[in-house]
């Protein structure tokens, strides 16, 4: 299935929303260490791959793999000045790497878009060497938890959730990462849960612009599904985010395990 958030500026959006400090902490929690050979599967324009390359250092190496040719081009342009970081185009369910190629394989914020993620995880395990780590990082409760919600705002949240689910997006993938790794045969599985998408008080301009982008990208299919009512829901969602009383959040699961 096509990537739900596809648009010409998706690489730029993802780069802008990547919080380097948080990513560094996530990578450490997931077990990335100096000198490792690491894979960033579904790397978009490479912001996380760059953080990985800095963490493994020049004694390690990082490969970023991405489905979109355009985002691979952007990643190469911005990241390949580091000689131990390379990018390639491909799909996670058919990784172009031999068995046991990596010490550490990461898939971050991708599985939420994948209808049947187990074969993707199995493929990450295949390319990880025995004793290496497979790490999955993803959201739980995407767009689901807000306060205060009344009238049109509650309706807007419900509609957005329904449209995402209808488009094959799993807003609750975070809680499923543990069993995905267990069923792939990994041991010593570590689970960390961190706050994500946390907005307390009126959203900043950057947060609003990220939300506007997401609502605009959903717009054409949403209008097809529910007609012009979509525009009222999208406006109510933005009103909610501008409200100084707003509290909204989701959780980010950082789960990693060891290949036997």
Residues lying near ligand SAM in the complex (CB under 6 A): 3, 14, 18, 42-44, 47-48, 66-68, 71, 91-93, 108-110, 113
Q: Least distance in Å: CB of 6 to ligand SAM?
A: 7
Q: Which is nearer to ligand SAM, 9 or 187 (CB)?
A: 9
Q: Determine contact, residues 140/174, Cβ cutoff 8 Å.
A: yes
Q: Which is nearer to ligand SAM, 153 or 176 (CB)?
A: 176
Q: Least distance in Å: CB of 248 to ligand SAM?
A: 19
For 62, phi then psi, to 5°, come to -130, 135
Q: Least distance in Å: CB of 244 to ligand SAM?
A: 29
For 247, phi then psi, to 5°, come to -130, 120
Q: Which is nearer to ligand SAM, 7 or 187 (CB)?
A: 7
Report, in angstroms and rounded to the nearest whole number, the Rg of the chain calculated over CA atoms.
Answer: 19
Q: Determine contact, residues 82/50, Cβ cutoff 8 Å.
A: yes
Q: Which is nearer to ligand SAM, 109 or 236 (CB)?
A: 109
238-242 long-range contacts, CB within 8 A, separation 24+:
238/208, 238/211, 238/212, 239/152, 239/153, 240/146, 240/149, 240/153, 240/156, 240/157, 241/199, 241/202, 241/203, 241/207, 241/208, 241/211, 242/202, 242/203, 242/208
Q: Least distance in Å: CB of 62 to ligand SAM?
A: 13
**Residues in CB range of 136: below 8 A, 6 or more apart:** 106, 107, 108, 111, 121, 177, 180, 181, 253, 255, 256
Q: Which is nearer to ligand SAM, 39 or 236 (CB)?
A: 39
Q: Least distance in Å: CB of 40 to ligand SAM?
A: 7
Round to the nearest angstrom and report the end-to-end CA distance of the chain: 32
Tokens at 99, concatenated? 């068995």
Q: Least distance in Å: CB of 1 to ligand SAM?
A: 9
Q: Which is nearer to ligand SAM, 48 or 163 (CB)?
A: 48
DSSP-assigned beta bridge partners for residue 192: 254
Cis amide leading into 156 (omega within 30): no
Q: Least distance in Å: CB of 119 to ligand SAM?
A: 10
Tokens at 132, concatenated? 């290496």
Q: Which is nearer to ligand SAM, 91 or 161 (CB)?
A: 91
């Amino acid at each position: 299935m096509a990537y739900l958030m596809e648009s010409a500026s998706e690489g730029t959006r993802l780069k802008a929303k990547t919080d380097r400090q948080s990513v560094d902490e996530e990578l450490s929690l997931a077990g990335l260490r100096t000198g490792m050979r690491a894979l960033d599967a579904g790397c978009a324009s490479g912001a996380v791959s760059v953080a990985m390359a800095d963490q493994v250092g020049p004694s390690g190496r990082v490969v970023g793999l991405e489905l979109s040719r355009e985002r691979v081009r952007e990643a190469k342009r911005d990241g390949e000045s580091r000689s131990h970081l390379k990018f390639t185009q491909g799909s996670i369910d058919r990784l172009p790497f031999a068995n046991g190629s990596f010490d550490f394989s990461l898939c971050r914020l991708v599985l939420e878009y994948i209808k049947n993620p187990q074969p993707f995880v199995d493929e990450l395990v295949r390319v990880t060497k025995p004793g290496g780590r497979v790490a999955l990082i993803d959201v739980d409760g995407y767009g689901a938890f807000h306060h205060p919600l009344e009238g049109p705002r509650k309706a807007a949240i419900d509609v957005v959730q329904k449209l995402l689910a209808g488009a094959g997006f799993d807003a609750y993938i975070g809680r499923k990462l543990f069993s995905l790794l267990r069923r792939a045969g990994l041991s010593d599985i570590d689970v960390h849960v961190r706050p994500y998408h946390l907005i307390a008080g009126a959203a900043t301009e950057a947060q609003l612009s990220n939300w506007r982008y997401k609502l605009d990208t959903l717009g054409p299919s949403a209008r097809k599904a529910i007609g012009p009512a979509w525009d009222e829901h999208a406006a109510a969602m933005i009103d909610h985010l501008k409200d100084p009383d707003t509290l909204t959040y989701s959780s980010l699961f950082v789960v990693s395990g060891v290949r036997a």
